[in-house]
A and B are shown apart, each in its own frame.
Chain A
Amino acid sequence: MEIHRFEKLWLAASLVLILGFVATVVYGAVGAGVAMVNDDGGTVDPGDITASENFREPGVYEAGDGEYAVYVEARQFSFRPGSSQPIEVPADTRVTFYVTSPDVTHGFSVVGTNINTMVVPGQVARITTVFEEPGTYHIVCHEYCGAAHHNMQGQIRVVDQSQFDASATGPAAIDDPAAEVSD
């Protein structure tokens, strides 16, 4: 089949471009360490989300030295914790969010960051991140979930470690289910 030499040149350039895109994405994963949301969070029964060990009572827990776990329940039309009470976590620590929904599909997106996941009933979205600087972040639900979807928002307050430890609503340790949970 006869292909004009210019078109052959363009074909080669296109393949280089495609390869370049794939390589950049691989670099992002391997070099910059960006991980995708996957099935590590496990599944839960939407009718009773805390029954499985993949999800606990919503709140902030200490999961180890300098590691925190935040269990967030996203439902029509609020994040728990997040909406009525901001989620408070210390800066410069590894924070893992576990997010699920007992009703419809929602979104969990922290504005101004790359923290962005879908919240699908039956699945737990597990994402780990580090907030380096203290500050306030806003959570937005970006997947249509019903009539008041546009009001569904929350806040994450990242505070200094010292302020966090001194705060009255500190977290519970993760292996202490009887301890009080900050809601």
Chain B
Amino acid sequence: MAYVDEYPRAAKIARWEFGVAFLALALGGVFGLVQALYRTDTFREALPINAADYYTILTGHGVLLALVFTTFSIAALFTWATTRSLERPLASNRLAWGAFWLLVIGTVLAATSILNGFVPQLPFESSDVLFTFYAPMQAHPAFYLGAALIIIGSWVAGAVYFLTYWEWRKDNPGERIPLQTFMVLTTFLMWYLATLGVAVEVVVFLIPWSLGLIDTVDPLLTRTLFWFFGHPVVYFWLLPAYLVWYTVLPKLAGGRLFSDPLARAVFVLFLLLSTPVGFHHQYVDPGIPEGFKFVSMTNTMMLLLPSLLTAFTVVASLEHGARQRGGGGYVGWLRSLPWDRPAFSGCALAGLMFAAGGFSGMINAGMNINYLIHNTLWVPGHFHLTVGTAFALTIMAIAYWLIPQITGKRLQHRRLAMVQPYVWFVGMTLMSNAMHRAGLAGLPRRTAEPMFQEAGSAPFDPVVGTVGEMRLQIAIGSTLLFVALAMFLVVMFGTWLGKSGAAPLAVNGSIPDPLSGPEGSPRVLDNLKVWTAIAVVLVALAYGLPIWSIISDGLLTPGSPPIPV
């Protein structure tokens, strides 16, 4: 039975959440294109912005895509995954809708204050502080309030999954947690731990400070609290993609998941290690002793393990599907995979790109090699491969499979959908490789003007290629990405306009059992309490002393007053 018939109320929540997510994706994508053209000085005179507006666009691009699009998509995906795997409806639809509206109000507040940057007539003042909103730059209080509401909304959404799970547990004592629900719960346990940092930063410090209730905040403390959250948030984005790759992608390939226990172990490792690594974003920060940075580095390096294991398990599952389709040989089986089905090809390409993004992440994790690439264009090169493709392309791809099931409408414009993942992949390859190389040449990130233009004293000296050629690749790549985004939106819009039940769906929602089920694995894997406790201990070890040393001279000292942007 199709999902929309089995769980109509959960399907409705998921539809609305995907709807908001795709709107944010559309607007954030437009901003991204304008940004790329401006920065690479391509048709700059035709763009309606100036250099200062660039930072408004950049803030909008970051917040809409990395905070709004992600959170809403994840809520929708997890709503589907939980109900489907527990085979029961959500424990409380009221709470689920409450979460949705909290998220929406937070989004409207934050987005309006960002748009104030171009449209002074809007009620708040501009908040060109970028996605990381470092103090002492100060955004309008509405920005911080909006961000806080989005976080709180996500907490409430998570609570609904836990409530549903506890109800299921009462009816199913002693059974192993179904894999998708296990992934949802571990992701959210990690999220609750991670968001403590940013919640304290925003609620205890930034909101009172921006309202004038306290005079100063310690910029290093707020920055540290942000990165407490700032690293695990990327796993909040990655783990849902892993959920898709582990549980759905094998079926799309025509096979079965290679190993359920290994998937569980991977998610447990993420729960343990995602948060006590935040200092690797602060390797070149003053005020933080080298010892704490080193501990963070070893934790981060350990965090490579679950991702490397995922690579094996997911590819093994795909290979199984290929062989069931009749593929043979050491690599020839790749051709038997259903590359003409966009849900499959999008996820597979996303996974491939993540393998590359993983490498640049390994470099970022190295403590001293960080000097080479910190705050250069290499960093956006890296995260466009990871959140920009591993997450975003996976969501777009799985939407082709999932949206028909939660709406009851057949997917339209199939040919457009079929090509879309490839266009995204090519665009991202061009843009990201140029960004990586430009970063190695020293070009900074988060900058409106390409500085130090060529002629005479050009300090940007790439090893291979020229700055001009890199800029061209970024311009072309981002244009292709925008085209791919437009293709995706046209497919979604066309599907949405269709009538539910007018034609049978072209997808099938059943998921076969894994090759290795959970039965053989240790029960302790399912003991979420133990893992959470260990995670908390690891965070306390990694952050306790550093935070103590920062606040020992005063919670608000050395203090900086707000400097509005």
Chain A interface residues (CB < 8 Å from chain B): 1-4, 6-7, 10-11, 14-15, 17-18, 21-22, 24-25, 28-29, 34-39, 41, 43-47, 103-105, 107, 109, 111-112, 114-126, 136-138, 140-151, 153
Asked whether, in the complex, the Cβ of B136 is within 8 Å of the Cβ of A104, the reply is yes
B520 CB contact (under 8 Å) in A2, A105, A150, A153: A2
Asked whether, in the complex, the Cβ of A122 is within 8 Å of the Cβ of B559, the reply is yes
Q: Within 8 Å CB of A142, what residues of B?
A: 374-376, 444-447
Query: Binding site of B, secondary structure by majority: helix, strand, loop or mixed?
Result: loop
Q: List residues 538-565 of chain B with CB under 8 A from any CB of chain A.
A: 549, 553, 557-561, 563, 565
Given A120-B219, A142-B446, answer yes or no on A10-B286 (Cβ-Cβ < 8 Å).
no
Q: Within 8 Å CB of B563, what residues of A?
A: 103-104, 146
CA distance A126 to B290 in the complex (A): 13
> Is residue B372 contacting chain A, with contact meaning CB distance below 8 A?
yes
Asked whether, in the complex, the Cβ of A22 is within 8 Å of the Cβ of B301, the reply is yes
A13 vs chain B, min Cβ distance (A): 8
A138 vs chain B, min Cβ distance (A): 4
Asked whether, in the complex, the Cβ of A17 is within 8 Å of the Cβ of B372, the reply is no
Asked whether, in the complex, the Cβ of A18 is within 8 Å of the Cβ of B304, the reply is yes
Asked whether, in the complex, the Cβ of B365 is within 8 Å of the Cβ of A111, the reply is no
Asked whether, in the complex, the Cβ of A120 is within 8 Å of the Cβ of B459, the reply is no
B459 CB contact (under 8 Å) in A45, A111, A125: A111
A149 vs chain B, min Cβ distance (A): 7
Asked whether, in the complex, the Cβ of B369 is within 8 Å of the Cβ of A25, the reply is yes
With both beta carbons as reference points, the residue of chain A lying nearest to B518 in the complex is identified as: A1
> Size band of the B side of the interface?
35 or more
Q: List residues 383-424 of chain B with CB under 8 A from any CB of chain A.
A: none
Q: Within 8 Å CB of A124, what residues of B?
A: 286
B119 vs chain A, min Cβ distance (A): 17
Q: Within 8 Å CB of A126, what residues of B?
A: 286
Asked whether, in the complex, the Cβ of A150 is within 8 Å of the Cβ of B451, the reply is yes
Asked whether, in the complex, the Cβ of B374 is within 8 Å of the Cβ of A116, the reply is yes
Asked whether, in the complex, the Cβ of B375 is within 8 Å of the Cβ of A116, the reply is yes
> Is residue B500 contacting chain A, with contact meaning CB distance below 8 A?
no
A-B contact pairs, 29 of them (CB 8 A): A1-B521, A2-B261, A2-B520, A3-B262, A7-B259, A7-B312, A17-B304, A21-B301, A36-B290, A37-B284, A39-B288, A39-B549, A41-B287, A103-B136, A105-B134, A109-B442, A121-B136, A121-B219, A123-B558, A138-B452, A138-B459, A142-B376, A143-B446, A144-B55, A144-B58, A144-B130, A146-B137, A150-B447, A150-B451
Q: Within 8 Å CB of A146, what residues of B?
A: 137, 563, 565
CA distance A136 to B309 in the complex (A): 47
B235 vs chain A, min Cβ distance (A): 17
Given A121-B136, A140-B451, A147-B51, answer yes or no on A36-B442 (Cβ-Cβ < 8 Å).
no
> Is residue B457 contacting chain A, with contact meaning CB distance below 8 A?
yes
> Is residue B101 contacting chain A, with contact meaning CB distance below 8 A?
no
Given A140-B442, A149-B447, answer yes or no on A36-B560 (Cβ-Cβ < 8 Å).
no
